[in-house]
Structure 1
Amino acid sequence: MRHGHEDLEPEHRPEAVKARLSQAPSASSMPDAVLGGIDGCVTTFAVVSGAFGAGFSPTVALVLGFANLLADGFSMAVSNYEASQAQQEHIDSVARRERHHIQLIPDGEREEIRQIFRAKGFEGELLETVVETLTNDHDVWVDTMLKEEHFLPPVGLNPLRAALTTFFAFIVVGAMPLLPYALPGLDTTTQFLASLVIAGAMFFGIGMLKSLVHEGPVLRSGIRTLLMGGAAAGLAFLSGHLAHALFGLG
C-alpha cells in the first residue's frame, strides 16, 4: 500500500518523530502468529485429510485432530519459547562481551566504530565527532556494536509472549478445520469438503493478513500460503490413502 504526501506528513512532524523514536524497542509478534496459525491449520487438516484418505470414521478424525492440536500446539509453543530464549541469551552474551572489551581496550573498540562509520562514508572531523558522540555513552556504544558489527537487535522478542502468541494462534486457527466434524447430521464426504473449504479460507486469510501487515502483494501472498497448506494436506491425504491400500486400515 502506497501513501501520498498528505498521509505521511503528520507522522513525520518533529513531535511525532520524537514520540515514535522515544518508545522502547520491541520485536513484532506477527511472525509467531503467522507461524502458529499456518502450522495449526496444516496440522489439523493434515490429520483430517489422512483420516479421510484412510477411510477412518469422522469420530476418529475428530479425536485425532484435537489430540494433535493440543499436543503439537504445546510442543510448538515450547520450541518457540526455547528459540526466543536462546536468541535473547545470545544477544545478552554478545553485549556483555562488548562491554568487557570496552573496559579492557577502549581504543580498539573506538577504532571499530571509526571503521564501521568510515565504511558508511563519514570522513575527517565529522567522522571523529560521530565516534566521540557514540562512545561517550556506553549503552549507546554497545547497542551500536550489536547492530553494526554483529547484526543483532538490542532487544529480542519476549520468550513468553512468543510462546503464548504461537500457542493461541495454533489452537484458534487449527481448530477451524475440525468444526464440521463436531456438527451432527453431516455425512463423511460433506464434512471433509467443508473442512477443506475452511482450511483453504484460513490459509488464504493468513497469507493476506501477513501481506497487509508488511504492505506486500495481498493476493499473491494469500495464494502462495494457500498452495503451501494445500500441498501439506495433499501429502497427508495420499499417505492415508496409501496406508489404507497397503495395510487395509480404516
Structure 2
Amino acid sequence: MKIPDKDALIREHHPEMVQKRLSQGGKSQNISDAVLGGIDGCITTFSVVSGSVGAGFPSSVAVILGFANLFADGFSMAISNYESSKASQEFAEGIKKLEERHIDEIPEGEREEVRQIYRAKGFDGELLEKVVETITADKKVWLEVMLSEEHGLSKSTSKPLTSAGVTFLAFVSVGAVPLIPYIVPYLEMSQQFSISAFLAGVMFFLIGMLKSVALAKPVFLSGLRTLVTGGAAAALAYFTAYFLREIFNIAVA
C-alpha cells in the first residue's frame, strides 16, 4: 500500500472523491491469505526437504513426501481458512438478525443504546437528541450503527471461497518452488539441497517484501524477518531429523 503525498491526499479528500469512495463500501483484502498461504507452503515443503536430508533419505523420498505434503497441507489449510471465514460471516449474520429483531420489538431500548453511544463520543443536549433522531429515522442506517458501534463489526467481510482459493493457490505455487531441484535428474543430492535452500530463501524474502509493500512497511526488514522465520523452521526440521537418525542409529545408504 503506497503512502500518498500531501497533494494526492488533498485530491482524495475532495467532496466528490470522498462520496465516490464511501459509496463503494469496504473492500475485502486477501493479501493476508496470500502471505499466510505462501509462507506456510514454502515452510512446509522446505522443512520436508530439510528433514529428509537431515535423516539421510534419498532425493526420491524428499520429492514424494514434499509433493504429498504440498497438496494435502495446502488443501487442509484452504479448508481451515474457508471454515474460519464462513464462521465469521455466519456470526455477523446472526448478530445482524438479532439487532433487526431488537429494533423491531424494542425500538426505545435500541434508541437508548444509540443515545448512550453518542453521549460517550461527546454529544449532549439537543444535538445528541437530533443525532439519535436522525440515525433511528432510517432503519438501514440504524442497523449499521448498531453493528459497528455496539458489536465492532465491519461492513467489509472476506468471501470464504475466495479466501480459501487464494490460500490454496499461494500455498501450492510458492511451496512447489523448493521442490523444483529435486525433479532435475542430473543434479547431485548436495546440489539439489543447496539450490532448494537458495530458492526457498528467495521465496521467503519475496513474500516478506510483498507483505511490506501491501502494508507500507520497510521492505528489506520485512523480507529479512520472513527469511529468518522460514530458515529457523527448516533448520529445526533438519536437526530434529538428524538427531533422531543418530538416536535410533539409522544407517544412511
**TM-score, length basis structure 1:** 0.95
Q: Which residue in the other structure is 1:125 paired with?
A: 126
Alignment-derived partner of residue 101 in structure 1: 102
What is the rounded CA distance, in whole Å, between the counterparts of 2:153 and 2:115 in structure 1? 19
1:140 maps to: 141
Correspondence for 2:61: 60
Q: In the TM superposition, what is the alpha-carbon distance from 1:145 to its structure 2 partner?
A: 1.3
Consecutive unaligned residues in structure 2, runs of 5 or more: none
Return closer, same or farther for 1:13/1:152 CA change in 2, 3 Å cut-off: same
Contact 1:91 1:155 in 2 (8 A): no
1:195 aligns with 196
The answer for the alignment partner of 1:37 in structure 2 is 38
Corresponding residue SS for 1:86: helix
Task: Say if 2:187 is the partner of 1:186.
Answer: yes
Please give the alpha-carbon distance, in whole angstroms, between the structure 2 residues aligned to 1:218 and 1:35.
17
Shift of 1:70: 0.3
Between 1:16-25 and 1:207-216, the stretch displaced more is 16-25
- Read off the aligned partner of 2:49 and give its amino acid letter: V
Q: Which residue of structure 2 lines up, in the alignment, with residue 204 of structure 1?
A: 205
Identity of aligned residues (%): 54
* Cross-structure match for 1:19: 20
SS at match of 1:56: coil
Q: Which runs of 5+ in 1 are unaligned?
A: none
CA distance in 1, matches of 2:94, 2:156: 12
Give the structure 1 partner of residue 91 of structure 2.
90
Q: Tell me the C-alpha RMSD between the 2 structures.
A: 1.4
What SS class does the counterpart of residue 91 from structure 1 fall into?
A: helix
Q: Deviations over 1:42-95 (max 9, x none)?
A: 100110000011111111101110110000000000111101000000000011
1:139 deviates by 1.9
Q: Which runs of 4+ in 1 moved over 6 A?
A: none
* Aligned pairs for 1:167-246 within 5 A: 167-246=168-247
CA shift, 1:182, in A, is 1.5
Give per-residue Cα distances to partners, 1:194-224, cap 9 Å, x unaligned: 1111111111111111111111222221121
Paired amino acid for 2:61: V
Task: Note the alpha carbon deviations across 1:7-51, whole angstroms, 9 max, x for none.
Answer: 322222222221111114332111111111111011001100000
Q: Is the 2:74–2:171 contact (alpha carbons within 8 Å) kept by the matching residues of 1?
A: yes
Q: 2:198 is paired with a residue of what secondary structure?
A: helix
Q: CA deviation at 1:163?
A: 0.5
Range 171-180 or range 124-133, more displaced? 124-133
User: 1: distance between equivalents of 2:125 and 2:251?
Assistant: 77
CA distance in 1, matches of 2:177, 2:118: 51
Residue 224 of structure 1 aligns to which amino acid in structure 2?
R
- Which residue identity does 2:196 align to in structure 1? S
Residue 5 to residue 138, structure 1, CA distance change in 2 (3 Å): same
Amino acid corresponding to residue 44 of structure 1 in structure 2: T
Q: Comparing 201-210 with 128-137, which one deviates more in the overlay?
A: 128-137
Cα separation, 1, equivalents of 2:186 and 2:47:
23
Query: In the aligned structure 1, how far is the partner of 2:196 from the partner of 2:145?
Result: 50
User: 1:249: Cα distance to partner?
Assistant: 6.0
Per the normalisation by structure 2, the TM-score is: 0.94
**How many residues are aligned here?**
250
Kindly indicate whether the alpha-carbon contact (under 8 Å) linking 2:25 and 2:155 is maintained by their aligned counterparts in 1. Answer: no
- Structure 1 residues 13 and 223: alpha-carbon distance in aligned structure 2, compared to 1, 3 A threshold: same
1: distance between equivalents of 2:158 and 2:121? 29
Q: Aligned-pair distance for 1:107? A: 1.0
Native 8 Å contact 2:25 2:156 kept in 1? no
- SS in structure 2 at match of 1:22: helix
